[in-house]
């Protein structure tokens, strides 16, 4: 976020600290679905059941060493912009974040249909990388290898930032995002680790057809698979 200079008053800082710390614990409600951002204040929060998807590049340091800055910019611009486009295709996408070369999102998934839709979005992300790699190869750029992690669970949704400044962001706390990030870090890490890794709870809520696309990864105690979007893969097969 962009920031501008402002005077710091430690007395005002103490007031803000006390206002938050003295707030009622009852202000943090349990929710089965993600509430509106507008319902968040600096003094409340929600414990929400939802899903997280995390996508990151493997060996990105090597990528940075191989290419000039203009080429790196082209790679990252196409990778990040189109990956965001894919994640936004989930009908209940709530939040999207970019952290370096990682892109992750929070989806409202109160029903199993929503969880299966997110699984399909993960497959689209995989096929997008295949499409990008064909484009990169023709330009003699490095091809990308990614990991995809998806989890379902409870996360604390809060509004964090500087009260009164207009500088704020929705922050997700708890193990949900960390679990998705950890699963992502295992994706494509070794020859025995497939690209997409999903948590056991997420797997349990998939339909039978989607479950068949995954197998148990006993080392990381999750399910994994190399899952693609069939329509996108037709273009890949015709153009590789």
Q: What is the pLDDT of residues 193-237, one digit of tens each?
A: 999 999 999 999 999 999 999 999 999 999 999 999 999 999 999
Give the whole-angstrom CA distance, residue 85 versus residue 90.
10
Longest dimension (CA), the chain: 65
> What single-letter DSSP state applies at residue 228?
-
**What pLDDT, in 10s, does the model give residues 150-200?**
999 999 999 887 665 666 789 999 999 999 999 999 999 999 999 999 999
Residue 6: pLDDT band (50, 70, 90) is: low
Going along the chain from its start, the domains and CATH numbers come out as: 27-234 (3.30.70.1230)
CA distance 55 to 184: 6
Rg (CA), the chain: 20
Can you tell me the distance from the alpha carbon of 92 to that of 98, in angstroms, rounded to the nearest whole number? 18
Distance CA 42, CA 40 (A): 7
pTM of the entire predicted model:
0.91
Cα separation of 236 and 122, whole Å? 17
Q: Does residue 123 have a pLDDT over 60?
A: yes
Report whether 101 contacts 66 (CB < 8 A): no
Residues 6 or more apart whose Cβ sits within 8 Å of residue 174: 153, 154, 155, 156
Q: Residue 67 and residue 146: Cα distance in Å, rounded? A: 18
């Amino acid at each position: 976020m962009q920031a501008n200079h402002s005077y710091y008053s430690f007395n005002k800082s103490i007031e803000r600290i006390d206002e938050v710390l003295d707030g009622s614990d009852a202000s943090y409600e349990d929710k089965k679905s993600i509430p509106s951002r507008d319902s968040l204040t600096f003094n409340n929060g929600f414990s929400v059941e939802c899903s997280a998807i995390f996508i990151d590049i493997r060996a990105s340091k090597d990528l940075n060493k191989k290419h000039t800055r203009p080429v790196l910019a082209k790679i990252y611009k196409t990778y990040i912009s189109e990956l965001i486009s894919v994640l936004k295709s989930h009908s209940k996408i709530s939040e999207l974040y970019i952290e370096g070369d990682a892109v992750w999102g929070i989806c409202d998934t109160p029903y199993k249909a929503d969880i299966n839709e997110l699984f399909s979005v993960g497959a689209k992300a995989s096929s997008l990388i295949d499409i990008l790699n064909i484009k990169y190869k023709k330009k003699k750029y490095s091809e990308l290898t990614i990991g995809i992690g998806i989890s379902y669970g409870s996360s604390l949704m809060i509004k964090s930032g500087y009260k009164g400044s207009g500088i704020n962001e929705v922050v997700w706390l708890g193990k949900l995002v960390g679990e998705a990030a950890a699963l992502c870090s295992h994706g494509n890490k070794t020859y025995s680790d497939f690209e997409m890794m999903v948590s056991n709870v997420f797997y349990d809520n998939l339909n039978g057809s989607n479950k068949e696309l995954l197998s148990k990864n006993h080392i990381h105690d999750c399910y994994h698979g190399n899952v693609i979007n069939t329509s996108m893969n037709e273009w890949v097969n015709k153009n590789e």
